[in-house]
Amino acid sequence: MGTDPAHDPMTRTARDGTVVHLRPVRGDDGPRIEELFASSSADTIFNRFLAPLARLEGERLRALTHPEPGTECALAACIDVDGRERMAGVGRFRRVSAEIAEIAIVVGDPWQRHGVGRMLLRQLTLMARDLDLQWFDSTIDPSNLRLLRFVEACGFKGTLKYDGGLLHMRTNIAALFPVELRDPIEDHPRP
């Protein structure tokens, strides 16, 4: 990757000092997404897809690596491991109306609780604001308490509705990472 984190707006530093580069998901990312999937527990996979999956393949993998132009934005959070790029997480949103986009983020188990999900959410929030989106919609397993605590810490303002065994959350994009406030992760010293 070779990017200087101090001068690249898409490069961040995780809580443990690991340099994380955010970039658009590409068509050739299939092997990296499969590797991310393999690094994730059954709980992480279920919480992302709301279904138990043994592997990603075919049309599902193609859809994850080929965001629909004009409708979807997909970002990979990549790290360098022994000179090879690996995905630590992926975040995406899909516009479903003029003001609303569905959002989903997954972080592989080895990189959870290092700030990677927050980095992805923050960047997706900035991108959504640039597109004049007002709301993020997401569907959540109500037992996913870590995610519910995470969105609350990021400034969740919106509605939660329970239906069919799932929580449907609508989040006001303007309330996430208020522009006038600095994200505390940005104050973390860089190595």
* Tens digit of each residue's pLDDT (9 = 90 or more) over 17-31: 889 999 999 989 888
Residue 97 lies in a domain: yes
Residue 1 lies in a domain: no
Q: What is the pLDDT of residue 41?
A: 74
Compute the mean pLDDT over every residue in the chain, rounded to the nearest whole number: 81
Question: Residue 59: pLDDT band by 50, 70, 90 thresholds?
Answer: confident
Query: Are residues 104 and 25 in contact, defined by beta-carbon separation less than 8 angstroms?
Result: no
Handedness of CA 67, 44, 52, 50 (dihedral sign): negative
**Integer Cα distance of 29 and 7 in angstroms:** 25
Residue 123 lies in a domain: yes
The residues, any chain, with a CB within 8 Å of residue 148's CB and separated by 6 or more, are 140, 167
**Range with the poorest average pLDDT among 12-16, 39-43, 47-51, 170-174:** 47-51
Question: Residue 77: pLDDT band by 50, 70, 90 thresholds?
Answer: very high
Residue 156 lies in a domain: yes
pLDDT per position as a tens digit, 144-176: 888 788 777 777 777 888 888 888 889 899 888
Write out the residue range of the structural domain in which residue 125 sits: 7-177
Residue 58 lies in a domain: yes
Residue with the bigger pLDDT between 120 and 148: it is: 120
Residue 4: half-sphere exposure toward Cβ, Cα within 13 Å: 2
| Alpha-carbon torsion, ordered 183, 94, 116, 122, to 10 deg | -10
> In this model, does residue 181 exceed pLDDT 70?
no
Q: What is the CATH number of the domain that holds 48?
A: 3.40.630.30
Angle at 53 between CA 25 and CA 93, to 5 degrees: 35
